[in-house]
A = this chain, B = another copy of it.
Amino acid sequence: MTTGTGAGDPRIQQLARLAVEVGANVQPGQVVSVGARPGQEDLARAIASAAYERGARFVDLAWFDPHVKLARLRHAADDTLEYVPPWYGQRALGLGELAAATIALAGPTAPGLFDDVDPVRAGRDRLPSVREGIAVLMEAKINWTVVPCPNPAWAGVVFPDLPPDEALERLWTQIAHICRLDEPDPAAAWRARGDELAASAARLDERRLTALRFRGPGTDLTVGLLPGSTWVGGIDHRRDGLEHLPNIPTEEVFTTPDPLRTEGVVTSTRPLDLGGTVVEGLRVRFEGGRAVEITADAGAETLRARVAVDEGGTRLGEVALVDGSGRIGPLGTVFYDTLLDENAASHIALGAGYPKGAPGEDPGRINDSQIHIDFMIGGPDVTVTGVAHDGTESPVLSGGAWM
């Protein structure tokens, strides 16, 4: 069968409009950054059109070519790999000053490209992520979203046994379903789902938990919460109040944990793609909030190099719960992409904490790392209990259902 997934595929236009109108919620007169890589041209251009049609002042394509990064990782001197030209940070800060919109396209585009690269060197070059970009986002200065972009290379990783055309069509079909493009009114469907997530977050807040405990195969992990930890889900707001949906899809509720109070061992339940290096069978042991041991069947060295960037890199900044009623988990597909996989299963993130997940908290208690790396720890075999102030535990998630 043929796929019809060229630039004329109507799903590209639908996804572009969803990203512009619901995800970033682009406003007339705004500057819009679109982050894309080779293989994502059609969706990036469709987003540019949709943004200009909505009245954008300027669409700035932030292009990242992993093949250029590969040349660097192969040939550049060790002591230059952390260098970033000053205009990268100026651009990120400039987007914040303009209260701009940003739309980033997710999904692997060059799987395996860095397989032969020394993982320690690969870990030193964190581009296209820049510290100023994470700061602007955490401070809620921009209305932003991340959306998946199906492409042939990604389809080949997710459905390696299918012919390329069928693999791409299968990926598109699943992502269209996940993004609710198959609903009569995808924007309304996302507003409804956002309300459900906000309701789940409110119910969790009422329980005033002091910690969460994850138990499952290879996992017994206690994640301490802050006094100010607050559950967040669905629609987010720029600091001036403008609504946006930071991830499409989103199926999670999350909060900002205490970076000093994680204890125990956790085994990841899905692979983690670090922009070309896949970490599989990840196992992390925490003591006093710090990841003191990181091992994996593959990719551990790259992750260790990434988290070594600063003190916060080895501590948690997010804990997120995903129930079984979302659209990703039931598909049973491993997407090798954090945006999709993290919305299939409960997860935690090493690195920066989102201030909105602990709004009244002393800012000094929130993880302010330069990095933020999510990995999946939940699933049908993993139960989540909540720890109350008196030390008693009560179920939160079991078999993928809220308790």
Contact = CB atoms under 8 A, between A and B. Distances in A.
A74 B57 CA distance: 13
Contacts of A63: 61, 63, 65
Interface stretch (A87-95, A223-231, A275-283, A343-351): A87-95
Interface residues of A, number: 38
Query: How many of these chains are in the complex?
Result: 2
A80 B31 CA distance: 11
A83 B65 contact: no
Which residue among A80, A87, A98 has the maximum number of chain B CB atoms within 10 Å of its CB? A87
A72 B98 contact: no
Contacts of A67: 41, 45, 48
Interface in A24-63: 29, 31, 34, 38, 41, 44-45, 48-49, 52-53, 55-61, 63
Contact of A49 (B34, B65, B75): B75
A183 B60 CA distance: 42
Nearest to A55: B77
- Max chain B Cβ within 10 angstroms of own Cβ: one of A41, A53, A76: A76
Given A75-B52, A87-B87, A87-B90, A41 B65 contact: yes
A276 to B, nearest CB: 15
Interface in A304-353: none
A91 B83 contact: no
A249 to B, nearest CB: 26
Contact of A94 (B52, B72, B86): B86
Contacts of A403: none
B38 A52 contact: no
A71 interface: yes
B71 A98 contact: no
Of residues A52, A55, A60, A68, which shows the largest number of chain B Cβ atoms within 10 Å of its Cβ? Answer: A68
A85 B98 contact: yes
B48 A59 contact: no
B85 A94 contact: yes
A146 B29 CA distance: 35
A90 B95 CA distance: 13
Nearest to A7: B67
Given A65-B61, A85-B31, A75 B94 contact: no
Given A63-B65, A90-B87, A71 B48 contact: yes
B85 A60 contact: yes
A109 to B, nearest CB: 12
Given A59-B71, A72-B58, A91 B98 contact: no
Contacts of A84: 58
A38 B36 CA distance: 13
Contacts of A91: 85, 87, 90-91
Nearest to A98: B85
A277 to B, nearest CB: 19
Interface in A350-391: none
B71 A57 contact: no
A315 to B, nearest CB: 30
Contacts of A76: 52, 56-58
What are the nearest 4 A-B pairs in CB distance?
A52-B75, A63-B63, A87-B91, A48-B71
Given A57-B76, A63-B65, 20 more contacts: A31-B85, A38-B41, A41-B65, A41-B67, A45-B68, A48-B67, A52-B72, A52-B75, A55-B77, A56-B76, A57-B77, A57-B80, A58-B76, A63-B63, A86-B90, A87-B90, A87-B91, A87-B94, A90-B90, A90-B94
Interface of A: 29, 31, 34, 38, 41, 44-45, 48-49, 52-53, 55-61, 63, 65, 67-68, 71-72, 74-77, 80, 83-87, 90-91, 94, 98
